[in-house]
Amino acid sequence: MDEDSKIIEELRQSNEYQKAQILHLEKALKQAIAGQEDVRMMNSNEIQKSKEMTEDLKKKLANCMSTIESKNVELLNLQTALGQYFAEVEAKVIFASVSYRLCLMYCSLQVVFLTIVPVLIVIVVVVVVVVVLSGIFGATVGFDKRRIS
């Protein structure tokens, strides 16, 4: 029996050693599982942060694109306004040129008018004088002709 007791004792020690190893392996497995869960949680958090950053960047990009689009519209409006301004300036230059030419023509007509009117007045005066004188002398001559006959 001594030998049986010895075998039983060895088996108990072996059993206890294996139990201790099993407990140690279970503890290591729990730590590994907990570590994996921590890594999974950290990865999940990092993925969530990345998604949030991506969404934020998409919003910022959309705002930038919207700003660029509005600036393009504003630039187009400014180009249109500038074109209208240049058209108005060109029209004013043409108007000024035409106005200058009309003014020159008016001044020329005034000079011609001021030159011709006195000449016409002199001609009218001469004609009136001639008519009056011819009436006076013609009546006298006509009167004389009646007397002579």
Say if 145 falls within a structural domain: no
pLDDT by residue (tens digit) across 95-111? 999 988 989 888 888 88
Say if 132 falls within a structural domain: no
pLDDT by residue (tens digit) across 41-98? 999 999 999 999 999 999 999 999 999 999 999 999 999 999 999 999 999 999 999 9
- pLDDT for 139: 55
Say if 122 falls within a structural domain: no
Q: What's the number of domains the chain is made of?
A: 1
Say if 101 falls within a structural domain: yes
Rounded Cα distance between 107 and 110, Å, is 5
Q: What is the pTM of this model?
A: 0.47
pLDDT(116) > 90: no
Domain that holds residue 35: 1-107
Say if 12 falls within a structural domain: yes
3-state secondary structure 70-98: HHHHHHHHHHHHHHHHHHHHHHHHHHHHH
Residue ranges of alpha helices (H) inside the chain are 2-148
Rounded Cα distance between 71 and 107, Å, is 52
Say if 117 falls within a structural domain: no
Rounded Cα distance between 133 and 12, Å, is 175
Say if 11 falls within a structural domain: yes
- Of 2-11, 45-54, 137-146, least confident by mean pLDDT is 137-146
